């Protein structure tokens, strides 16, 4: 099937999928779990094929690690689907209701976006996770995975397609495309794809953002900061910086730059260095930092770098304003922390920092859909519209206005025969 045909089929299926009953969607998720369990061995075999081929083709070892999809991973994705199945139906929720007049009621009701394009590198678990999110939220999905994972992706797609369609989900709702040329074509399909969710490296996400007019939900960089304010609890400030940097370094919500107020630097930095040394973190700093602790030089390039590694850049700032300006200049709008005992400063920080997540006295690593309690995560967005920060199921939803009239015409209101009442209603949409 060509990408154009695939997109048309997905668009067609998306219409019926938008109206499908919760029972059918949940039954489909249960069927998918069954089939993943039943075909565990086939999945592992397919993945071994991908792993062997990719080793022969000298795929770098971090990518090989992400490509691996063994029994453990299958069990993990099954747990994910089970928790998704337990979440309440996100479609058809009344978000707002207004009586425009006694016999004219307006309802704002949640509904799926339509067709979601998902482009991901290596990790086959992304395929399962995002497809089940799309199913639960009533969206059709077009998947493009990395070619190195083609056998694994194909069997996972077949399992999800077969199991869901058996349960009554409209045929064609899940499409898999496989060639690089298809991606280029996909990015141009503004007519049939409503939103693209990319999962992969920052270069990869940037490429997609720059080469499509379709809205993209995600983030390229995660350059997160901790700012240690004057008067902060020093021990807390060490612990938070340490957790933010080292709890898991290869993720977007790990801290990359530490900003330290000048009035606290002399007491704080030596303790910080001691703690970071224990975790073998490479530290680089500006001249003022280096006059207090013996570490490498940080340049402007460092302030813009997402290390994703055991490396941290440190800068001394004169005051909170300088910290805020630094973050708004070099940050990526992801997650920033202030460690402080001064409420006024915390308020300034939270209001003036232009990022999706602004925290007081806790680790940047909390910036995550599961930790936020969303139950399922579409991804983390640094967009300024639609959805920002960690995005749960609601990132795959929009709304429709549904109006119930009794023959009402606008002319009656324009000619003042009738007047609008605009009374807020506390009730659910019902015909």
In the range 6-35, which residues lie near a copy of itself by CB under 8 A? 14-16, 18-19
Residue with smaller CB distance to a copy of itself, 39 or 245: 245
Query: Smallest distance from the beta carbon of 335 to a copy of itself, in angstroms?
Result: 9
* Total residues binding a copy of itself (CB under 8 A): 77
- Minimal distance in Å, beta carbon 384 to a copy of itself? 4
Q: Of 160 and 183, which CB lies nearer to a copy of itself in the complex structure?
A: 183
Cβ of residue 88: shortest distance to a copy of itself, in angstroms? 13
Cα separation of 77 and 61, whole Å?
22
Cα gap 127→74, rounded to integer Å: 12
Contact assessment for residue 32 and residue 159, using Cβ atoms and an 8 Å cutoff: yes
Residue 245 in contact with a copy of itself, rule: CB under 8 A: no
Which x/- pattern over 211-240 shows residues binding a copy of itself (rule: CB under 8 A)? -xx-x-x---------------x--x--xx
Residues near 56 by Cβ (< 8 Å), separated by ≥ 6?
Answer: none
- Whose structure tokens read 């953002």? 209
Give the one residue of 77, 104, 224, 308 binding a copy of itself; rule: CB under 8 A: 104
Q: Is 54 exposed, middle or buried (0-12, 13-18, 19+ CB in 10 A)?
A: buried
Taking the C-alpha atoms of residue 46 and residue 311, their distance in angstroms, rounded to an integer, is 37
Residues 121-160 binding a copy of itself (CB under 8 A) are none
Residues 6+ apart with CB under 8 A from 132: 29, 32, 80, 81, 84, 160, 376
* Closer CB to a copy of itself, 22 or 408, in the complex: 408
Q: Which of 129, 152, 153, 355 binds a copy of itself (CB under 8 A)?
A: 355
The correct pick among 60, 301, 426, 431 for binding a copy of itself (CB under 8 A) is 431
The CB-of-232 to a copy of itself minimum distance in angstroms stands at 10
In the window 75-94, what residues touch a copy of itself (CB under 8 A)? none
- Nearest-approach distance from CB 158 to a copy of itself, in angstroms: 28
Among 125, 243, 302, 377, indicate the residue that binds a copy of itself (CB under 8 A): 243
Residues 228, 231, 232, 238: is their CA dihedral positive or negative? positive
Cβ 388 to a copy of itself shortest distance, Å: 5
When the beta carbons of 262 and 279 are compared against a copy of itself, the nearer one is: 279
What one-character-per-residue DSSP string does 212-242 give? -SS-B-S-S---EEEEE-TT--HHHHHHHHH
Residue matched to tokens 């007519």: 191
210 is an interface residue for a copy of itself by CB under 8 A: yes
Q: How many angstroms separate the CA atoms of 91 and 84, rounded?
A: 14
CB atoms within 10 A of CB 15: 12
Cβ proximity to a copy of itself: between 75 and 423 the closer is 423
CB of 429 to a copy of itself, least distance (A): 9
Distance CA 300, CA 64 (A): 33
CA gap 355, 384 in Å, rounded = 9
Task: Lay out the site mask for a copy of itself across 315-334 (x = CB under 8 A, - = otherwise).
Answer: ---------x---x------
Q: Are the C-beta atoms of residues 94 and 109 closer than 8 Å to each other?
A: yes
Q: Minimum distance between the CB of residue 163 and a copy of itself, rounded to whole angstroms?
A: 24
Nearer to a copy of itself, 261 or 357 (CB): 357
Q: Using CA atoms, how far apart are residues 8 and 14, in angstroms rounded to an integer?
A: 10
Question: Which residues within the stretch 359-418 sit at the binding site for a copy of itself (CB under 8 A)?
Answer: 359-363, 365-367, 371-373, 383-386, 388-390, 398-411, 413-414
Q: Which is nearer to a copy of itself, 310 or 366 (CB)?
A: 366
Of 177, 198, 166, nearest in space to 32 by CA: 166
């Amino acid at each position: 099937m060509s990408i154009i045909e695939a997109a048309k089929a997905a668009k067609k299926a998306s219409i019926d999928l938008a109206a499908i009953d919760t029972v059918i969607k949940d039954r489909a998720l249960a069927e998918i779990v069954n089939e993943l369990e039943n075909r565990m061995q086939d999945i592992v075999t397919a993945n071994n094929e991908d792993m062997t081929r990719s080793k022969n083709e000298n795929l770098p070892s971090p990518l090989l690690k992400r490509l691996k999809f063994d029994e453990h991973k299958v069990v993990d994705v099954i747990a994910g689907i089970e928790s998704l199945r337990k979440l309440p139906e996100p479609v058809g929720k009344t978000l707002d209701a207004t009586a425009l007049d006694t016999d004219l009621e307006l309802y704002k009701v949640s509904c799926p976006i339509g067709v979601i394009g998902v482009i991901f590198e290596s990790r086959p678990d992304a395929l399962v996770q995002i497809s089940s999110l799309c199913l639960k939220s009533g969206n059709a999905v077009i998947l493009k995975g990395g070619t190195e994972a083609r056998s694994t992706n194909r069997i996972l797609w077949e399992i999800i397609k077969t199991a869901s369609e058996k349960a009554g989900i409209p045929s064609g709702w899940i499409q898999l495309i496989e060639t690089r040329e298809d991606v280029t074509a996909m990015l141009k399909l503004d007519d049939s794809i409503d939103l693209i969710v990319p999962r992969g490296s920052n270069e990869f996400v940037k490429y997609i953002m720059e080469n499509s007019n379709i809205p993209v939900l995600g983030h390229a960089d995660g350059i997160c900061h901790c700012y240690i304010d004057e008067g902060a609890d020093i021990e807390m400030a060490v612990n938070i910086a340490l957790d933010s940097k080292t709890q898991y370094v290869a993720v977007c919500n790990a801290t990359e730059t530490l900003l330290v107020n000048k009035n606290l630097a002399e007491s704080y930095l030596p303790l910080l260095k001691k703690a970071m040394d224990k975790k073998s973190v490479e530290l680089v700093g500006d001249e003022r930092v280096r006059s207090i602790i013996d570490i490498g030089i940080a340049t402007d390039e460092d302030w813009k770098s997402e290390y994703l590694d055991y490396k941290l850049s440190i800068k001394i700032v004169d005051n909170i304003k300088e910290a805020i300006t630094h973050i708004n200049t070099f940050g990526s709008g992801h997650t920033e922390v202030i460690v402080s005992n001064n409420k006024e400063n915390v308020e300034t920080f939270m209001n003036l920092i232009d990022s999706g997540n602004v925290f007081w006295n806790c680790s940047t690593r909390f910036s995550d859909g599961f930790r936020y309690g969303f139950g399922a995560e579409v991804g983390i967005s640094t967009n300024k519209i639609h959805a920002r920060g960690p995005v749960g199921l609601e990132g795959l939803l929009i709304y429709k206005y549904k109006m119930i009239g009794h023959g009402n015409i606008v002319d009656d209101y324009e000619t003042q025969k009738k007047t609008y009442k605009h009374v807020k209603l506390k009730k659910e949409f019902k015909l």
